[in-house]
Amino acid sequence: MMLEEATKCAPAVMQSGKEYICLMELHGGVGDEELNRVFRLFTGRIYQVPPVRSSVARRPRVRTVYRMEVLEREGRNVLFRVACSAGTYVRKICHDIGELLGVGAHMEELRRVRAGPFVEEEAVTMLELYEAVKLLKEEGQEEKIRKAIQPMERCVELLPKVYVMDTAVDAICHGADLAAAGVAKLDSDIQEGSLVAVMTLKNELIALGRALMNSKTMLEATEGIAVDVQRVIMERKTYPSIWKGGLRRTK
């Protein structure tokens, strides 16, 4: 759950990888060796057509399965863990595994255990959150509330980052795109068109945007727009304003 301005970080989490525990039921008998062989075939880049009951167009798309492993098996019931890119349909993976095995299969249960940088082990219940708020208000204890409510920078932990000079921060907060001249440092794995987090040199989140250059070009450029800023997170005037009309890319 995201609070207040942190809701603007939702795209960062939605586009990050996910991890699930899935219970799949096979419709026929299959040996362990054959099952593991098919699991290996579904690891890596795969083509997937979304199921009929989905909110997106039913056309083939490429998704990445980072790893799949069988955790337990009891007859036709297979419990497995799968880590995959955003937009991957696990119930479709179950169906396709059944088709390849020639016996059919369907997803019986599914539990998400990781979304981006957030893992199930860090989750708190509503009761734990209530108790944390109560301790803060009545006794001034901050430890539990800091565990329950984390900084919004956690949302972009897995995104490539572009760090900007202090003098460029307030201009971005007012809606200006990030000019190459304002870049102080950056991650080395940025690709043109990728979603990036725009950060201060103190590692504070300013905005989310689309890179208009890759890392090498951005590092060498002395002019032009490096990042098309799409969602401003930081409040205006958090940093001193020295901006008198920013440089914006023609949309």
pLDDT tens for 69-96 read: 999 999 999 999 999 999 999 999 999 9
Domain boundaries of the chain, sorted by first residue: 17-119, 124-153, 159-232
Tens digit of pLDDT for each residue in 131-170? Answer: 999 999 999 999 999 989 999 999 999 999 999 999 999 9
Helix (H) or strand (E) segment spanning residue 178: strand 178-179
pLDDT mean across residues, the chain: 92
Query: What's the rounded Cα separation, in Å, for the pair 161 and 8?
Result: 17
Q: 211 - beta bridge partners? A: 227
For the record, the structure tokens of 206 come out as 């300013």
From the candidate CATH numbers 3.30.70.3190, 3.40.50.1820, 3.30.70.360, 1.10.357.10, the one assigned to the domain spanning 17-119:
3.30.70.3190
Tens digit of pLDDT for each residue in 58-71? Answer: 899 999 999 999 99
CATH level 2 (architecture), domain 159-232: Roll (2.30)
Of 199, 196, 184, nearest in space to 151 by CA: 199
Check whether 247 has a pLDDT greater than 70: no
Please tell me the predicted confidence (pLDDT) of residue 246: 47
CA 68 from chain centre, in angstroms, equals: 19
Query: What's the rounded Cα separation, in Å, for the pair 6 and 233?
Result: 7
Cut 0.75: pTM above it: yes
Amino acid at 151: P
- Residue partners of 131: CB distance under 8 A and separation at least 6: 144
For the record, the structure tokens of 102 come out as 């020639």
Please tell me the predicted confidence (pLDDT) of residue 57: 81
Query: What's the rounded Cα separation, in Å, for the pair 216 and 187?
Result: 10
Please tell me the predicted confidence (pLDDT) of residue 244: 55
Please tell me the predicted confidence (pLDDT) of residue 4: 84
